[in-house]
């Protein structure tokens, strides 16, 4: 793994504050506190940092959406729900380098004027939630978090909030509902969280790895970040590579690195010398690629241009023995189970698709079933309150369109 922004992840005991500090940790926070908040916002804007949670929205612009009135309550939320199948980057940051996230959150809080932050962590990461709480206590003890941070007059408190294992609670407004103690159902937008977020107050919400880029940008300067990667996709990205590869794991590479290089150089190629069949490039909700498409560069625009998306950067590699209809069946089961049920097209559509794919796999399907699934995918996408509907429809649509022969063989 290259080590550019995430230099501590595989360092022994990097999670302790002493190790983190000995490797330059919290220097960025000291620098940040000596600068006016507006300067930090413009530095992050200039760096071109885009959200790593999936949508790739520019962080500096998100911060600028906040109302200018500095006396308002502003919350900062770190989205550590990491529910996207095939994704394990946030977990590594929090487990092995928790102070990087805490430092990134504290700098961000100072820049946007938040005094209270939450880390919303998926329920299954119970032991990591405990690690985070210990790291926060360490940081408070040394004055990096809490009251009057490093005698700057700025105070910021962080709470760790455990979710209960719902995928849709990774969606930012469902997540806020969940913190408020309600059922995790997405809200209609607008209003957006910048004006009406947690408890109705202005809120900025970012993925773990977005916030973890902030110390580098502040310490080394925005150009140091923007010169890595590609135009419109600056910096590095943590790619979690799993599936049929020789060396599954988490790898940091500049944005725009070809997928082929990640599979064959970082992850050591396809296991057992088999042929590559397909790749899911950015977590389960990103449309599948065929083996012919792996020269694509892994950045926001390049993946969009071939009808997929960078998403979470969770790369799932499948060899020649993989049955795509079986992958589609698992995908359909996951989304039918995780739909929150609020929007009819999503609630009914995901369950109907699951029913049809199960029927096809059982050898009882007909040709019209495939058309019916594609039609349902079209109806679900864009007709729901949140992007869950699209997240469910797009991968299934791509699996059927790109590997149609395999599905047809089952209905013949």
Instruction: Name residues contacting ligand FMN, limited to 295-354 (CB under 6 A).
Output: none
**Smallest distance from the beta carbon of 38 to ligand FMN, in angstroms?**
20
Helical H segments across 23-121, by residue range: 27-33, 37-47, 59-64, 89-96, 98-112
Residue 84 makes contact with ligand FMN by CB under 6 A: yes
Instruction: Return the bridge partners of 258, or none.
Output: 297
CA 68 to chain CA mean position, Å: 28
Query: Nearer to ligand FMN by C-beta: 162 or 206?
Result: 206
Q: Which stretch binds ligand FMN (CB under 6 A): 47-55, 228-236, 250-258, 346-354?
A: 47-55
Strand runs (DSSP E) across 248-344, as ranges?
Answer: 249-254, 276-280, 289-290, 314-319
**Smallest distance from the beta carbon of 18 to ligand FMN, in angstroms?**
29
Instruction: Name residues contacting ligand FMN, limited to 147-176 (CB under 6 A).
Output: 168, 170-172
Query: Nearer to ligand FMN by C-beta: 185 or 402?
Result: 185
Query: Nearer to ligand FMN by C-beta: 198 or 263?
Result: 198
Helix, strand, coil percentages, rounded to 5, for the chain: 45, 15, 40
Residues 6+ apart with CB under 8 A from 127: none
Residue count, binding to ligand FMN (CB under 6 A)? 23
Q: Which stretch binds ligand FMN (CB under 6 A): 49-57, 303-311, 317-325, 374-382?
A: 49-57
Residue 114 makes contact with ligand FMN by CB under 6 A: no
Residue 54 makes contact with ligand FMN by CB under 6 A: yes
Compute how many other C-beta atoms are within 10 angstroms of the C-beta atom of residue 180: 11
Asked if residue 21 lies in contact with residue 28, where contact means CB atoms within 8 angstroms, the answer is no
Q: Is 145 helix (H, G, I), strand (E, B) or coil?
A: coil
**Smallest distance from the beta carbon of 81 to ligand FMN, in angstroms?**
4
Among all chains, which residue has been given the structure tokens 């408070």? 140
**Smallest distance from the beta carbon of 216 to ligand FMN, in angstroms?**
15
Residue 398 makes contact with ligand FMN by CB under 6 A: no
Q: Which of 207, 286, 302, 350 binds ligand FMN (CB under 6 A)?
A: 207
Q: Which of 79, 106, 236, 397 binds ligand FMN (CB under 6 A)?
A: 79
Instruction: Name residues contacting ligand FMN, limited to 370-389 (CB under 6 A).
Output: 386-388
Which DSSP string corresponds to 69-83? -TTS-EEEEEEE---
Compute how many other C-beta atoms are within 10 angstroms of the C-beta atom of residue 389: 24
Compute how many other C-beta atoms are within 10 angstroms of the C-beta atom of residue 116: 17
The burial class, CB within 10 Å (0-12 / 13-18 / 19+), for 188 is exposed
**Smallest distance from the beta carbon of 79 to ligand FMN, in angstroms?**
4
Q: Which of 13, 24, 57, 137 binds ligand FMN (CB under 6 A)?
A: 57
Residue 205 makes contact with ligand FMN by CB under 6 A: yes
Residue 178 makes contact with ligand FMN by CB under 6 A: no
Residue 177, preceding peptide bond in cis (omega within 30° of 0)? no
Binding stretches for ligand FMN (CB under 6 A): 51-55, 57, 79, 81-84, 168, 170-172, 205-207, 210, 386-388, 391
């Amino acid at each position: 793994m290259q080590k550019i922004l995430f230099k501590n992840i595989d360092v022994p005991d990097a999670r302790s504050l002493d190790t983190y500090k000995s490797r330059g940790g919290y220097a960025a926070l000291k620098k940040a506190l000596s600068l006016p908040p507006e300067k930090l916002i413009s530095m992050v804007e200039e760096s071109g940092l885009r959200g790593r949670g999936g949508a790739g929205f520019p962080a500096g612009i998100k911060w600028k959406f906040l109302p200018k009135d500095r006396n308002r309550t502003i919350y900062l939320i770190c989205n550590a729900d990491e529910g996207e199948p095939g994704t394990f980057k946030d977990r590594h940051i929090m487990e092995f380098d928790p102070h990087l996230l805490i430092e990134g959150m504290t700098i961000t809080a100072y820049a946007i004027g938040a005094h209270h932050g939450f880390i919303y962590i998926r329920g299954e990461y119970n032991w990591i939630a405990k690690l985070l709480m210990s790291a926060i206590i360490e940081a408070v003890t040394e004055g990096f978090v809490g009251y009057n941070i490093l005698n700057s007059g700025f105070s910021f408190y962080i709470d760790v909030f455990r979710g209960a294992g719902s995928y849709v609670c990774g969606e930012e407004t469902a997540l806020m509902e969940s913190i408020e103690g309600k059922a995790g159902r997405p809200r209609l937008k607008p209003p957006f969280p910048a004006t009406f977020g947690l408890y109705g107050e202005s809120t900025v919400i970012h993925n773990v790895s977005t916030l973890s880029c902030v110390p580098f940008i502040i310490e080394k300067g925005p150009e140091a970040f923007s010169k890595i990667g590609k135009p419109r996709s600056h910096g590095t990205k943590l790619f979690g590579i799993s599936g049929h590869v020789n060396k599954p794991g988490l790898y940091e590479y500049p944005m725009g690195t070809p997928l082929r290089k990640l599979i064959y150089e970082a992850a050591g190629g396809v296991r057992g010398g088999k042929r590559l069949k397909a790749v899911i490039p950015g977590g389960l909700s990103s449309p599948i690629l065929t083996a012919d498409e792996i020269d694509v560069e892994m950045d926001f625009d390049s993946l969009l241009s071939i009808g997929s998306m960078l998403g979470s950067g969770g790369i799932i590699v499948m060899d020649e023995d993989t049955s795509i209809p079986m992958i589609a069946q698992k995908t359909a089961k996951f989304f039918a189970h995780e739909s929150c049920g609020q929007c009819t097209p999503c609630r009914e559509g995901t369950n109907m698709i699951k029913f049809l794919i199960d029927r096809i796999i059982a050898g009882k399907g007909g040709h019209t079933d495939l058309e019916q699934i594609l039609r349902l995918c079209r109806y679900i996408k864009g007709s729901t309150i949140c992007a869950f509907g699209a997240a469910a429809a797009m991968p299934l649509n791509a699996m059927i369109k790109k590997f149609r022969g395999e599905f047809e063989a089952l209905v013949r």
